[in-house]
Structure 1
């Protein structure tokens, strides 16, 4: 098993065609076919089914592609670390960001890293907290923002921000930041909610229980943007963290008010792996991400948010988390 075989395997899987894979790899088609066949012979199992629609991976093929991607990514990361420019931190860092915080953090983070750490290549992945935690546990992320999570056997967790949930409605509803809305009032409207099992939905369900109210849920979705789009289109109200709707409210697209009776809060944390060596590039990105979050809260750009620890404490713990408890 060699790198050429692994690259051929992953590329054929991604494009579904030996011909197209050969073009991308700058090889003749027969060479790609040979790499796949020799790998299948070595493993003793077929990795693809050859169909008229293209190359379809078998169950074994899908497993091998997942492992091959990680192996290739680690080798690429290692190459970047051992061939540095003198005096420059280099490497590839994959960061997980909560979908609700992307508009606030992505551009400033990329700008700062490009300016101060030009040797670092950022790879940004956005999703809900549950998916990000799975990717972090699997080694697909170097660090990630998560919420309502304590340290686990595989992860160090560093508290960052505590923020309130808001009731969100069309602009015409006239919700205001200085006038909270009770859960009972919000539940009098059709509600567009995150899907069951989502961590934010769990918070909302807990609030409904405390309010002794059964919400009228008309739509469930796994996309924050879809929630906002449906509210804007008049399909109902929703409940979201303030950071996810601050820009929309400022532009007059939506209106929002803090959720009350009961109020509900979520805690944002930085998750880093316990095991293994933390590359200098990942430490540098963790420090910058924490700085951007603290700046956003202190400058009032993160609505109804409180810092949970000093920036220096988080930066130090993020930079030294290498498997210690």
Structure 2
């Protein structure tokens, strides 16, 4: 009867204290048990023998009990050591299972990725990239969130919301701990409807030529007053501050207003490519006069990113430039 109580006490002591030991220490004592020798255990683990001896001595000192009986032929587990080693093996097996689960999860593409971007970019991605992406990665769930850049972000930097995995923005982030990689330089132009240009001809040689024209402005570029930039015939960059007759917080209504002949629109070519092809809008700048606006792909430090987020980020960085006019 006494023997049973002693075994239970030993079992509880091992169970309660097992959390106090590092996995490397447990591997060392298991290697010693398997080899029956500190020297052979050190050779197996590719460790200096003194380090193995110190690890064993440290564990036994904390336990206050010997794990091994020493004799001239080597080491054999003590009665207490047998219980300890059994639980150590079980604990290491659990650790291996947890690590395998984590590795599988990190490699998996299954799950959701939240992508924040201006609505015009979302429309472009939906038209050109997202369908083939879903075909390649059917287990990936894309959550598209409209993020409208503000004039404040233009001054202080993009705001990266906590519910976002990836953010596409024309501005670098406020938070310097985030990664901001150049995604693409969108070619900017000035556009208008055929009807508007018929009634208000525009020969754009210098910034002053924009002064008499009605303009559609964007909140992200400053609200009612926007700074439009283009390259003049001799190569110098012209800048003109225009006043908007209509102010839009995103490109979609701004493009529709331009179609309706309300005024000139300063926008990226990708957003009006279909209108240019259909003839509903015309470009007022030559290709040589168009200037780029850089966009950034923003995300958290890579070591915290799920594999699916990393894959989507690299796909956007490698694929998007090939589709933008």
1:217 paired with 2:238, answer: no
1:191 to 215, 220, 242: 215
Equivalent residue number for residue 168 of structure 1: 191
1:294 is displaced (CA, Å) by: 2.5
State how far apart, in whole Å, the 2-side matches of 1:145 and 1:212 are. Answer: 25
**Aligned residue pair count:** 210
Alignment deviations for residues 113-169 of structure 1 (CA, whole Å, 9 cap, x no partner): 3222121111112233349x8996231110121114268423211112223321110
CA contact (8 A) 2:187 2:290 kept: yes
Residues 1:108 and 1:237: Cα distance change in structure 2 (over 3 Å): closer
Alignment deviations for residues 80-115 of structure 1 (CA, whole Å, 9 cap, x no partner): x97979985211100122323233322443223322
1:275 is displaced (CA, Å) by: 7.8
RMSD of aligned alpha carbons: 3.8
State how far apart, in whole Å, the 2-side matches of 1:228 and 1:110 are. Answer: 22
Larger Rg: 2
1:118 paired with 2:141, answer: no
Report the TM-score when normalising by structure 2: 0.54
State how far apart, in whole Å, the 2-side matches of 1:199 and 1:86 are. Answer: 39
Q: How does 1:40-189 map to 2 (within 5 A)?
A: 88-130=108-150, 137-149=160-172, 152-172=175-195, 173=197, 182-189=206-213
Residue aligned with 1:285, SS: helix
Gaps of 5+ in 2: 1-100, 231-236
Residues 1:212 and 1:244: Cα distance change in structure 2 (over 3 Å): closer
Report the TM-score when normalising by structure 1: 0.54
Gaps of 5+ in 1: 1-80, 297-301, 304-325
Equivalent residue number for residue 300 of structure 2: 273
